[in-house]
């Protein structure tokens, strides 16, 4: 009928992705794309909340906020005058295991963006007035979180699922008391100790020749030396052995938010891919999978319900999230548990599994359509050591998954009797507190 | 750019953009219906109709369309706005005709089963309640209802709770029949194909649909505002938010472009285009005056492109310990400065460079290309988008001062404040 006109371009792989590790330990991945005049640069350094104890929760994020508020060479105003006057974007953000950075601009500005990245990562200024501004912004965000049902349900859920010794128990944004007492010296010491080129990954995608990108990255960051202390392995996140539930209330709201879930498999766990397929069936495919069909379509009980599988470096959550009328919370929980039991008891029918595989493999071209999408995929590949040919192998890997693998994975990870449940209600119903 | 424009005999406008960057296609159908076409008793009808279009037909029973799209790895969704309701599919280019089949079918054949209407009532009320959890939704709803006294832009697309409780199946069905006609719709397609072939396939799917019999009535015009209006919302939380809106002309009006540059100078360039990405606004005038001086935690500006006269909006989150009045005074002082003194050439040039970069980013994905084809046709025509940069380039400092003086007057504004009183009961 009609044919695609582009020359068949295969998924990014060893043929068209340049991967090189600089002598100082920075791994660089570059893919050329001259379809648009822009370039995207993103990556991470190995510094995060994991590196700090709970009594300074929020330190890593606070430090990255201040880092991008001025360097020894550039005041806050100079930094953003350079970025904004060329219509570029630039940002750094801290999370549990890494500090991510990203920038986008017209390709001619890549050297400038790299210079700014180098300056921010290596030479932040820690000016007291900028520390205080960043602190006020975080305290406002924490104030908003106290009254945000979705954020509070996530906070409570993490407290229920992970023991206090685990970094996932604690909020990356911190708490008013920890943010309130951190000093500029704390931030600077965190930076000095943990920011290093060792283990840093940088991806450049866009209208720049690969060899030019290598030269420019080397010129900006090649002389950075140093290493960071080795990390201890993450403490265990034991499987839940009870139904662990907490319901809290926030005044003056109308909708309830609930999260029900478990610690999930890490990305490199052998169960991850079967669990990923299972999660797609449960709460992603079509308009949010089987859960969407049951809760939203058949029973009209929620505006949204979906499931998500974190699958990162550690045992991030596998959870079901819903926004519902307070009167329907318990019915929704029962429907969710019924779907989980069905999942464990019955093999996924062959036709349904074929649909899911077709979706997972067919959606790849859309995910890789933009520079940002390719950058995300390559960062993922590098972070989890999946191999440069991963996207080319992906189809075969998904197609090989069987219904019994999916069921076995679900049986190991989705326990309908033992789970954590966080509910944030608008106001206290009679049976508000089930303990926790 | 290879653009094909045509109008079918039944009045359906079709815009096709051929491009060969990725093996995908994006299909959008836009209906000229949104809260702009609603009245008391019927608010939320357009949005509810959008939900019903996902409830299936006899040819595409509920769930079949989204599963078929998902099965080929595509994405599928809809959205309702003040001026339009739109549905789109982005999918591998070989499957493009599936999108046409689904959309041609549900333009005419959704039966609005009463049981499904009732089930969706709970879902939509739940959606509204989710919105109500957000202070910014509550403030926005109050400000729109104050700035517009007559024009239906005063209604949020989700609808008022009382109407969501009482709208009937027949109300919704009539709304659907009145507005879902080929002569009230625009199709926009972008992708890796031959535009002429796609035109013929579009004709085959949509050419037999019957045109509407009655042209939808124009909404009542908003009378000029003659004095400043204020509204205060008290709710939960500990944070205060300030928002200011000024009436501005419709997107087709030449002053839309100087107002767009004015916003970049005041509040940063991110408001330029959907899909263009987000820029920081730390060197904008209002960031310096409000955030740098620790009166606000953030500040955003938006020039709303609209079919009828729209709004220019500025919104700030108040710094802890500061007051709504302090933020308002500092913000209005910056507006006075814009009215009194010409903007310097460097600020103007920065705004233009931001616009050029964001314009380049906004067309990177096939989905965004098709979005812009249709979106600009809704309130102007595709030429609006094609001449967008040219029109921004020609804006002068004197133009900025003139539009600041013309539109950013006290009598033309509504000031809304959200006061967080912790438990929402003060």
Is residue B157 within 8 Å of B46, Cβ to Cβ?
A: yes
Residues 163-202 in A contacting B (C-alpha not used; CB under 8 Å): none
Q: Does B118 touch chain A (CB under 8 A)?
A: yes
pLDDT at A433 over 50: no
CA distance A21 to A198: 10
Rounded-to-integer distance, Cα A333 and Cα A416, Å: 10
Range of the domain at B53: 2-206
Percent of chain A with pLDDT over 90: 88
Q: Taking CA atoms, what residue in B is nearest to A35?
A: B21
Instruction: For chain A, report the end-to-end CA distance as a whole number of angstroms.
Output: 61
Q: Chain A contact for B26, CB < 8 A? A: no
A97 touches A314 (CB < 8 A): yes
- Whether residue B192 lies within 8 A of chain A, CB to CB, comes out as yes
Q: What pLDDT shows up at residue A128?
A: 97
Structural domains of chain A sorted by starting position, each given as residue range(s) with its CATH number in brackets: 18-221 (3.30.830.10), 244-425 (3.30.830.10)
Task: Give how far A394 is from chain B: nearest CA, Å.
Answer: 14
- φ, ψ of residue B91 in degrees (nearest 5): -160, 170
Q: Please list every residue in chain B whose beta carbon sits closer than 8 Å to the beta carbon of residue A133.
A: 291, 294
Assess whether B197 and B248 both reside in one domain. Answer: no
Q: Using CB atoms, pick whichever of A133, A144, A286 lies closest to residue B67.
A: A286
Ranking A90-94, A294-298, B9-13, B166-170 by mean pLDDT, the lowest is A294-298
> Is B237 found in the same domain as B192?
no
Distance from CA of B72 to the nearest CA of A (A): 5
Q: Report the C-alpha gap between B17 and B370 in whole angstroms.
A: 7
Residues B48, B108: one domain?
Answer: yes
- Quick one: pLDDT at residue A429? 47
H-type alpha helices, B27-159: 45-52, 64-71, 96-108, 114-132, 135-147
- Residue B214 inside a domain? The answer is no
Q: Chain A 238-257, CB below 8 Å of chain B: which residues?
A: 250-255
DSSP letter string over A98-140?
Answer: -EEEEEEEEGGGHHHHHHHHHHHHH-B---HHHHHHHHHHHHH
Q: Of the candidates B191, B206, B221, which is a domain's last residue?
A: B206
Domain check: are B241 and B379 in the same one? Answer: yes
pLDDT digit string (tens) for A123-146?
A: 999 999 999 999 999 999 999 999
Residue B54 forms part of a structural domain: yes
Q: Which of B152, B171, B206 is the last residue of a domain?
A: B206
Alpha-carbon distance of B37 to B326, in angstroms, equals 38
| Residues B78 and B26 both lie in one domain | yes
**CATH number for B376:** 3.30.830.10
Hey, are the CB atoms on B126 and A81 less than 8 Å from each other?
Answer: no
d(CA A69, CA A88): 16
Q: Supply the ipTM of this predicted assembly.
A: 0.88
* Same domain as B289, residue B251: yes
A32 φ, ψ to 5°? -80, 145
Claim to verify: residue B137 and residue B6 sit in the same structural domain: yes
Residue A434: pLDDT over 60: no
Number of structural domains (chain B) is 2
Residue B224 in domain: no
B146 within domain boundaries: yes
The answer on pLDDT for A284 being more than 60 is: yes
Tell me if B104 is assigned to some domain. yes
Residue B53 resides in a domain: yes
Q: Is the pLDDT of residue A298 over 90?
A: no
Of A44, A46, A23, A63, nearest to A224 by C-alpha is A23
Query: B254 and B118: one domain?
Result: no
Across the interface, of B133, B366, B420, the residue whose CB is closest to A369 is B366
Please check the confidence at residue A362 and state whether its pLDDT lies above 60.
yes
Q: Which of A37, A84, A364 sits opposite B350 (nearest CB)?
A: A84
CB contact under 8 A, B279 and A87: yes
Please tell me whether residues B43 and B142 are part of one structural domain. Answer: yes
Residues of chain B found within 8 Å of residue A136, distances taken between Cβ atoms: 294, 297, 319-320
Query: What single-letter DSSP state applies at residue B166?
Result: H
Same structural domain for residues B187 and B239? no
Does residue B382 sit in the same domain as residue B308?
A: yes
Contact B353 A287 (CB under 8 A): no
Residues B163 and B310 in one domain: no
Taking CB atoms and an 8 Å limit, are B238 and A147 in contact across chains?
yes
The mean per-residue pLDDT over the stretch A94-122 comes to: 97
Q: Cβ contact (<8 Å) for A254 and B23?
A: no
Does residue B219 fall inside a structural domain? no
Counting one residue from chain A and one from chain B, the pairs whose CB atoms sit within 8 A come to 224
In a domain, B101, yes or no: yes
A4 vs B: CB within 8 A? yes
Instruction: Output the tens digit of pLDDT for each of chain B's 426 residues.
Output: 679 999 999 999 999 999 888 889 999 999 999 999 999 999 999 999 999 999 999 999 998 998 899 999 999 999 999 999 999 999 999 999 999 999 999 999 999 999 999 999 998 998 999 899 899 999 999 999 999 999 999 999 999 999 999 999 999 999 999 999 999 999 999 999 999 999 999 999 999 999 998 888 899 999 999 999 999 999 988 899 999 999 999 999 999 999 999 999 999 987 666 655 678 999 999 999 999 999 999 999 999 899 999 999 999 999 989 999 999 999 999 999 999 999 999 999 999 999 888 888 888 889 999 999 999 999 998 888 889 999 999 999 999 999 999 999 999 999 999 999 876 544
Q: Give Cα A205 to chain centroid, integer Å.
A: 20
């Amino acid at each position: 009928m009609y044919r695609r006109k582009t020359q068949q371009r295969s998924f990014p792989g060893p043929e068209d992705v340049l991967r090189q590790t600089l002598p100082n330990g920075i791994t660089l991945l570059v893919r050329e794309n001259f379809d648009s005049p822009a370039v995207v640069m993103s990556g991470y350094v190995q510094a995060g909340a994991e590196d700090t104890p709970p009594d300074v929760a929020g330190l890593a994020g606070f430090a990255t906020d201040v880092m991008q508020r001025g360097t020894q060479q550039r005041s806050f105003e100079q930094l953003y005058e350079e970025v904004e006057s060329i219509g570029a974007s630039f940002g750094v953000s801290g999370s549990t295991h890494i500090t991510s950075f990203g920038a986008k601009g017209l390709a001619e500005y890549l050297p400038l963006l790299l210079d700014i990245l180098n300056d921010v990562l290596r030479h932040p200024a820690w000016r007291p007035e900028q520390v205080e501004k960043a602190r006020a912004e975080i305290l406002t965000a924490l104030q908003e979180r106290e009254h945000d049902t979705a954020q509070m349900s996530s906070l409570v859920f993490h407290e229920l699922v992970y023991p206090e010794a685990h970094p996932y128990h604690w909020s990356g944004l911190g708490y008013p008391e920890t943010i309130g007492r951190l000093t500029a010296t704390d931030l600077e010491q965190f930076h000095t100790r943990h920011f290093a080129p060792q283990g840093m990954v940088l991806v450049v995608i866009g209208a720049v020749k690969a060899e030019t990108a290598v030269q420019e990255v080397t010129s900006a960051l090649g002389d950075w030396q140093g290493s960071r202390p080795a990390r201890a392995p993450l403490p265990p996140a034991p499987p839940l052995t009870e139904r662990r539930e907490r319901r809290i209330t926030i005044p003056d709201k109308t909708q309830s938010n609930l999260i029900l879930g478990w610690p999930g498999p890490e990305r490199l766990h052998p169960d991850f891919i079967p669990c990923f397929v299972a999660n797609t069936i449960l709460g992603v495919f079509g308009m949010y999978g089987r859960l969407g069909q049951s809760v939203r379509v058949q029973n009209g009980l929620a505006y949204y319900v979906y499931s998500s599988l974190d699958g990162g470096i550690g045992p991030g959550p596998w959870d079901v999230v819903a926004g519902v009328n307070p009167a329907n919370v318990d019915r929704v929980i029962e429907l969710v548990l019924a779907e989980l039991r069905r999942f464990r008891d019955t093999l996924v029918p062959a036709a349904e599994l074929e649909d899911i595989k077709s979706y997972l493999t067919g959606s790849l071209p859309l995910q890789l359509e933009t520079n940002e999408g390719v950058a995300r995929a390559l960062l993922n590949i590098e972070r989890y050591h999946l191999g440069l040919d991963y996207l080319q192998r992906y189809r075969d890997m998904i197609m090989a998954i069987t219904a019994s693998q999916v069921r076995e994975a679900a049986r190991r990870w989705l326990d309908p009797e033992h789970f954590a449940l966080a509910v944030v209600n608008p106001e206290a119903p009679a049976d508000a507190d089930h303990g926790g | 750019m290879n653009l094909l424009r045509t109008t079918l005999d039944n009045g359906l406008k079709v815009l096709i953009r051929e491009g060969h960057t990725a093996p995908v296609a994006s299909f959008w159908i836009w209906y000229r219906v949104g809260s702009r076409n609603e009245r008391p008793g019927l608010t939320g009808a357009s949005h509810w109709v959008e939900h019903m279009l996902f409830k299936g037909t006899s040819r595409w029973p509920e769930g079949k369309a989204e599963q078929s799209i998902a099965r080929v790895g595509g994405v599928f969704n809809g959205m309702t706005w003040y001026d339009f309701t739109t549905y789109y599919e982005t999918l591998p280019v070989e499957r493009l005709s599936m999108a046409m089949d689904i959309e041609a079918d549900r333009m005419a054949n959704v039966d609005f089963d009463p049981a499904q209407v009732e089930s969706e009532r709970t879902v939509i009320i739940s959606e509204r309640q989710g919105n109500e959890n957000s202070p910014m939704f509550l403030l926005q709803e109050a400000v729109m209802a104050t700035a517009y006294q007559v024009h239906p832009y005063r209604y949020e697309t989700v609808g008022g709770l009382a109407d969501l409780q009482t709208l009937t199946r027949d109300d919704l069905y009539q709304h659907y029949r009145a507005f879902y006609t080929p002569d009230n719709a625009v199709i926009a397609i972008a992708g890796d194909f031959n535009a002429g072939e796609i035109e013929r396939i579009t004709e085959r799917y949509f050419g037999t649909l019957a045109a509407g019999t009655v042209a939808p009535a124009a909404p009542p015009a908003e009378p000029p505002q003659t004095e400043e209006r204020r509204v205060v919302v008290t709710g939960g939380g500990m944070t205060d938010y300030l928002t200011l809106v000024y009436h501005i002309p419709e997107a087709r009006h030449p002053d839309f472009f100087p107002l767009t540059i004015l916003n970049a100078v005041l509040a940063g360039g991110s408001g330029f285009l959907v899909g263009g990405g987000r820029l920081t606004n730390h060197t904008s005038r209002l960031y310096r005056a409000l955030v740098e001086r620790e009166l606000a935690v953030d500040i955003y500006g938006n020039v709303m492109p609209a079919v009828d006269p729209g709004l220019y909006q500025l919104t700030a989150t108040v710094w802890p310990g500061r007051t709504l009045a302090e933020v308002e005074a500092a913000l209005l002082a910056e507006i006075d400065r814009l009215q009194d003194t010409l903007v310097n050439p460097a600020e103007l040039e920065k705004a233009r460079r931001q616009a050029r970069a964001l314009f380049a980013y906004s067309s990177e994905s096939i989905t965004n290309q098709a979005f812009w084809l249709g979106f600009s046709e809704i309130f102007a025509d595709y030429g609006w988008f094609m001449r967008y940069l040219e029109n921004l380039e020609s804006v002068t400092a004197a133009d900025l001062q003139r539009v600041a003086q013309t539109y950013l007057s006290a009598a033309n504004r509504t000031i809304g404040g959200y006061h967080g009183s912790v438990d929402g009961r003060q």
